[in-house]
């Protein structure tokens, strides 16, 4: 398989994808350690796809312990040109209901324990992040959700917290005052690293519940949340199968070369070992 047209990263409740043929589980080594799991590769229709369960096949990896750099480098080594991230989120708005999907367009990163860049040694890269989401993929996702009649919202600011604990009431109210729409634990630094690797990135937040700001929060049972999580996963599988029929997702050459065009350091001064470590990222 020469390239992956679309790579899917699945979050809570989404550990496998139906309708993939010619399945192979690829064990990919990276210069940044082990990814969350072997990566499932195969075909949906005429589309080469990959699927990576973000928390591992059996959900054994906490958000802070995910090796985001290894995950993204592994997908890059497989030739991934687009990443669609799917993750469970809490709602910070009355009108973003459990069961709704949200097409994320902005992030606020409140994590502090994670390695957030591939460029940590003697190569300085200042990547522009004003528009972290590929508008082309987002538009195609919106069209697909409409055709599938899955209720969704076409914009959302995602605040990413460290976890694994949920936010306090004061934190939840603070994030609402900032204008955040949903809250999660995994899209950062995933989105940043995807752009550093030159891969177009889009994110779908699948609302499981209202965060603790909501007056009815205490009345929501774990069983209700699990049911919503499972329902969202079934809708996500339908979306994956549908969107994979469209191979023309790649946005433009600008994303592919974003990191190369953001290098500040004189490349002649960079150590050979650093260049070798980053050969897959800057390929």
Residues with a known catalytic role:
209, 211
Cα 81 to the center of its chain, rounded Å: 14
Residue position matching structure tokens 């697909």: 144
What are phi and psi for residue 187, nearest 5 degrees? Answer: -80, -10
Burial class (CB in 10 A: 0-12, 13-18, 19+), 162: middle
* Torsion sign across C-alpha atoms 136, 138, 141, 147: negative
What are phi and psi for residue 85, nearest 5 degrees? Answer: -95, 135
Q: Is 19 left (phi over 0), alpha (psi -120 to 50) or beta?
A: left
Rounded to an integer, what distance in angstroms lies between the CA atom of residue 196 and that of residue 174?
A: 30
Cα 206 to the center of its chain, rounded Å: 12
Where helices occur in 42-168 by DSSP H, the ranges are: 68-77, 135-148
């Amino acid at each position: 398989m020469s390239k992956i047209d679309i790579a899917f990263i699945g979050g809570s409740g989404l550990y496998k994808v139906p309708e993939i043929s010619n399945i192979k589980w690829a064990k990919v080594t990276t210069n940044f350690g082990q990814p969350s799991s072997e990566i499932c590769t195969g075909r949906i229709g005429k589309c080469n796809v990959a699927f990576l369960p973000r928390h591992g096949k059996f959900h054994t990896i906490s958000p802070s312990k995910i090796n985001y750099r290894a995950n993204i480098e592994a997908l890059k080594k497989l030739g991934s040109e687009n990443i669609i991230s799917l993750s469970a989120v809490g709602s910070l708005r009355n009108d973003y209901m459990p069961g709704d999907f949200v097409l994320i367009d902005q992030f606020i990163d409140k994590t502090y324990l994670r390695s957030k860049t591939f460029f940590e040694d003697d190569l300085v890269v200042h990547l522009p992040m004003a528009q972290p989401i590929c508008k082309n993929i987002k538009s195609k996702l919106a069209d697909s959700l409409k055709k599938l009649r899955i209720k969704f919202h076409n914009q959302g600011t995602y605040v990413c917290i460290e976890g694994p604990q949920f936010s306090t009431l004061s934190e939840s109210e603070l994030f609402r005052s900032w204008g955040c729409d949903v809250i999660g634990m995994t899209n950062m630094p995933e989105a940043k690293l995807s752009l550093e690797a030159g891969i177009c990135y889009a994110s779908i937040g699948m609302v499981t519940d209202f965060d603790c700001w909501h007056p009815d929060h205490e009345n929501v049972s774990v069983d209700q949340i699990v049911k919503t999580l499972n329902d969202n996963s079934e809708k996500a599988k339908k979306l994956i199968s549908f969107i994979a029929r469209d191979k023309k997702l790649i946005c433009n050459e600008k994303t592919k070369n974003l990191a190369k065009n953001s290098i500040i350091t004189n490349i002649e001064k960079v150590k050979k070992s650093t260049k070798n470590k980053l050969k897959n990222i800057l390929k």
